[in-house]
Amino acid sequence: MPIHRTPPFLPALLLVLLGSAGTVFAQHRHINAGAVAPQAGSKLSIANRASFDADSGFLVHLAPTNHPVYGPIFLGGSDVTFTSLPATADYGGPDPKAAQPGAHLVMVLVSLSGPSGGALSFWDSFDGFFVATETTFTVPVGTTGGTGSFALSENNGSAGLDPYGHIHGRRFSVDRPGLYTVGFVVVDTSANGLGGGPLHPPSDPVSISFQAGTTIADLKLSADGTTARFGTDAGKTYFVEAADALVSSPVWTTVAGPVVGTDRLESASIPGPSGNARYFRLRVE
């Protein structure tokens, strides 16, 4: 019988960049896969995608760590669990947005954008214990049509079994700081539909943002000034600083902030004309 698995305690990662930082325990969130209607043939979906897609501002945070095998990487994702909704009372259902019994749902990573030369890796939990020394798959920035996947359902794909799945302990990592956008599609890999095919067609793609480290995602210039956009951690405060030149001892001046972290993408307005060359950095407390 599938089990709701919870990994052992992992120490929180402490980020210190251009200032002091506290240890923050993020809220645990579920990204729930299912179907748009409660019958075979209906398209798969992320039932709560509006709360997690890139347009919502939601972020999966990846913090710097020195892995014993892979060296310095940005690792995280423990605060987010990808699930498959239950279709029967055995697992707390039936949920009206669940896939049909007999479906076996997997999440496929189909696209990745982000810092040039970067790559994202997926780490499975190995029965709920984060003891992996190897990644399950790695996807380079610029990927389209990717096939790397991980199971959401905990059944074996046999006819009539609940598609439910709720597996903790999984992680993601990247090798460069910055903002990444990951495209996912939910797919039914069962052979219990018409003609031995799946019970459900794949979902529409959903894009989710992953923030590695503390970086400015982008700058937008206007006649009145500049707007900086960046990923934030709840419990931290952000300031944008500017310098006119990158010399041996640049003079950094706070030009925007404080911006209180929300675990989402936030923006800060930097007043003044944008015609003069300036360099910007992000300071976090």
pLDDT of residue 266: 94
Contacts of 194 (CB under 8 A, 6+ apart): none
Give the number of other CB atoms < 10 A from CB of residue 115.
16
Question: pLDDT band at 249, cuts 50/70/90?
Answer: confident
Residue 263 in domain: yes
Residue 161 in domain: yes
Q: Is 233 exposed, middle or buried (0-12, 13-18, 19+ CB in 10 A)?
A: buried
The letter for the amino acid at 251 is V
Q: How many CA atoms lie within 13 A of 263 on its CB side?
A: 15
Question: pLDDT band at 8, cuts 50/70/90?
Answer: very low
Domain region containing 275? 216-284
| Contacts made by residues 18-26, CB under 8 angstroms, sequence distance 24+ | 18/214, 18/281, 18/282, 18/283, 18/284, 19/283, 19/284, 19/285, 20/285, 21/236, 21/284, 21/285, 22/235, 22/236, 24/233, 24/234, 24/235, 24/236, 26/61, 26/79, 26/233, 26/234, 26/263
Please tell me whether residues 231 and 253 are part of one structural domain. yes
Please tell me whether residues 148 and 259 are part of one structural domain. no
Residue 129 in domain: yes
- CA 209, CA 13: separation in Å to the nearest integer? 20
Residue 90 in domain: yes
Q: What is the tens place of the pLDDT at every residue in 129-142? A: 555 567 899 999 99
Token pair 């307005």 is found at 269
pLDDT of residue 244: 86
Contacts of 77 (CB under 8 A, 6+ apart): 60, 62, 170, 171, 172, 210
Q: Number of folded domains in the chain? A: 2
Phi–psi pair at 75, nearest 5 degrees: -130, 145
To the nearest whole number, what is the mean pLDDT of the chain?
86
Please tell me whether residues 125 and 189 are part of one structural domain. yes
Query: Is the pLDDT reported for residue 6 higher than 50?
Result: no
Residue 21 in domain: no
pLDDT of residue 20: 29
- Work out the average pLDDT over 253-278: 85
Please tell me whether residues 207 and 224 are part of one structural domain. no
- CA 170, CA 126: separation in Å to the nearest integer? 9
Tokens of 114: 């982000």
Going across the sheet that includes 216-222, the strands are: 216-222, 225-231, 265-271
pLDDT of residue 7: 31
- Work out the average pLDDT over 83-93: 96
Residue that finishes a domain, picked among 178, 212, 246 = 212
Which value, to the nearest 10 degrees, does the dihedral of the CA atoms of residues 124, 133, 137, 98 take?
A: 0
Question: pLDDT band at 11, cuts 50/70/90?
Answer: very low
DSSP conformation class of 5: B
pLDDT of residue 245: 84
Phi–psi pair at 269, nearest 5 degrees: -90, 130
Higher pLDDT, 54 or 2: 54
Find residue 34's DSSP bridge partners. 45
Residue 22 in domain: no
Please tell me whether residues 185 and 47 are part of one structural domain. yes
Q: Is 132 exposed, middle or buried (0-12, 13-18, 19+ CB in 10 A)?
A: middle
SS3 196: helix
- CA 235, CA 155: separation in Å to the nearest integer? 39
Going across the sheet that includes 237-243, the strands are: 253-260, 237-243, 279-284
Q: What is the tens place of the pLDDT at every residue in 176-230? A: 999 999 999 999 999 999 999 999 999 999 999 999 999 999 888 877 788 999 9
Residue 7 in domain: no
pLDDT of residue 22: 34
Question: pLDDT band at 2, cuts 50/70/90?
Answer: very low
pLDDT of residue 223: 76
The stretches of 81-185 forming alpha helices (DSSP H) are none
